[in-house]
Amino acid sequence: MRANPDQDARYTQAAAAHGPALQRLAAAVEANPERRRDLLQDMHVALWRSFTAFDGRCSERTWVYRVAHNVAATYVDKERRTHRGAVTLDEIEQLPDAQNIPAEVEAGEALERLHAVIRQLGSPDRQIITLYLEGLDAAAIAEVTGLSPGAIATRISRLKSTLARMFHETANV
């Protein structure tokens, strides 16, 4: 695919503005650091390609989130079909020994627990809560997902309660 200067400029601007959000989305979808990097790379490639079709009917931010969430949804579906919950030998070797797990005191560990809980949600709910955590309001999330703002607001309220419960349950395990 041959790039045009406008496509490159739009991608560069979007990647600079929304790159951290794409990283957080990838972390919310994939726990394995290597596969997370692959997913993030796929998001960036899809975003770059998508700017050939960007016509400005929505904001750049909405466009970026639509593309990234579509890539993430496709990735999750593919992973479910491929792995069906299987654990690889590499993943087993990376599991920590229960005696060597330090007390959870750092925010990074809490954030990883939150990502783990979010990964347990179904695809639409995972998409809604990650957009909400990125600071988008119900109207903006509705624009990305195609649902109504009222439905989004209701789901966010329910998801916050569900996530709080699940987060506390993982702390007690």
Q: What is the pLDDT of residue 97?
A: 44
Percentages (nearest 5) of helix, strand, coil residues in the chain: 75, 0, 25
- In the chain, which residues fall in CATH 1.10.10.10? 96-173
Pick the CATH number of 1-95 from 1.10.357, 2.30.30, 1.10.1740, 1.10.287: 1.10.1740
pLDDT at residue 64 in the model: 94
Residue 30 · residue 75 · CB < 8 Å: yes
Provide CATH 1.10.1740 ranges for the chain: 1-95
What is the model's pLDDT at position 1? Answer: 52
Element counts in the chain: helices (H) and strands (E): 8, 0
The per-residue pLDDT for 103 is 41
pLDDT tens digits, 41-68: 999 999 999 999 998 889 999 999 999 9
The CATH code belonging to domain 96-173 is 1.10.10.10
pLDDT given at position 79: 78
